[in-house]
Amino acid sequence: MKDLFSFFAKNQSLIYKVFLFIVSTLLLIYLLPKGGQFKYNFQKGKPWQYENLYAPFSFSIKKSDETIKKEQQEIRVNSIPYFDFNTEIIQDVSEKFRNDVEKKYIDSLYTTSKTVVARLGERIIKDIYENGVSDEIHPFEKDKLIYLKRGNEIEERTYSQLFNKENLNKKVREIVEKNNTVDVQPLLYTLLNEAISPNVSLNTKLTEASINAELKALNPNRGVIEKGGRIIAKGEVVEGGKFQILESLKAEYQSQIWSKNNYLWLLVGYSLLVSLVFLMLFLFLKKNRPEIYHNNTKVTFIFFNIFLMVFLTTLIVNVHADYVYVVPICILPLILKAFFDPRLGLFVHVLTVLLLGFIVPNSFEYMFLQFIAGIVTILTVSELYKRANLFISVGQITLVYVVGYFAFYVIQEGNVQTLPIENFGYFFLCGLATLFAHPLIYFYEKIFGLVSDVSLLELSDTNSKLLKELSNKAPGTFHHSLNVANLAEASANEIGANSMLVRVGALYHDIGKMHNPTMFTENQVNSINSHDEMDPKESAQIIIDHVIKGIEIARKNNLPDRIIDFIRTHHGTTLVYYFYAKERELQGTADKEDFLYPGPIPFSKETAILMMADSVEAASKSLKEPSSTIIDEFVEKIINNQMDQGQFLNADITFKEIQLIKKVLKKKLNNIFHLRVEYPE
pLDDT for the residue 677 = 43
Residue pair 610/487 in contact (Cβ under 8 Å)? The answer is no
**If pLDDT is split at 50, 70 and 90, which confidence band does 341 have?**
confident
Q: What local confidence, expressed as pLDDT, does residue 3 receive?
A: 62
Residue 322 has pLDDT above 60, yes or no: yes
- Residue 388: half-sphere exposure toward Cβ, Cα within 13 Å: 0
Main-chain dihedrals φ then ψ at residue 162, nearest 5 degrees: -70, 135
Q: What are phi and psi of 594, to 5 degrees?
A: -75, -15
The mean per-residue pLDDT over the stretch 236-259 comes to: 73
**Per-residue pLDDT at 64 exceeds 80:** no
Per-residue pLDDT band for 631 (boundaries 50, 70, 90) equals confident
Give whichever of 50-54, 111-115, 300-304 has the largest mean pLDDT. 300-304
What pLDDT score does 486 carry? 93
Nearest to residue 23, comparing CAs of 265, 262, 268, 278?
278
pLDDT digits (tens, 9 = 90+) for 553-606: 999 998 888 899 999 999 999 888 878 888 887 777 778 888 888 879 998 899
Is 272-448's fold the same as 462-672's? no
pLDDT at 630: 86
For all residues of the chain together, what is the average pLDDT? 85
**Which of 382-386, 408-412, 540-544 ranks highest by mean pLDDT?**
540-544
Instruction: Evaluate if residue 325 carries a pLDDT over 80.
Output: yes
C-beta separation of 570 from 607 below 8 A:
yes
Average pLDDT for 277-283 = 93
**Residue range 6-20: average pLDDT?**
79
Q: Domain boundaries in the chain? A: 77-214, 272-448, 462-672
Nearest 5°: phi and psi at 60? Answer: -85, 145
272-448 under CATH 2.30.30, yes or no: no
pLDDT higher than threshold 70 for residue 117 = yes
User: Residue 511 pLDDT more than 70?
Assistant: yes
The CATH class, in words, for 462-672 is mainly alpha
pLDDT tens profile 466-494: 999 999 999 999 999 999 999 999 999 99
Beta-carbon contacts of 344 under 8 Å, excluding residues fewer than 6 positions away, are 284, 285, 288, 289, 292, 336, 337
- pLDDT at position 484 is 93
More confidently predicted of 569 and 1: 569
**Residue 260 pLDDT more than 60?**
no
Total-model pTM: 0.60
Omega of the bond prior to 600 within 30 degrees of 0, cis? yes
The three state secondary structure string of 81-96 is CEEEECCHHHHHHHHH
Q: What is the mean pLDDT of residues 188-197?
A: 88
Position 383 pLDDT exceeds 70: no
Q: How far apart are CA 646 and CA 654, in angstroms?
A: 13
Q: What pLDDT sits at residue 353?
A: 94
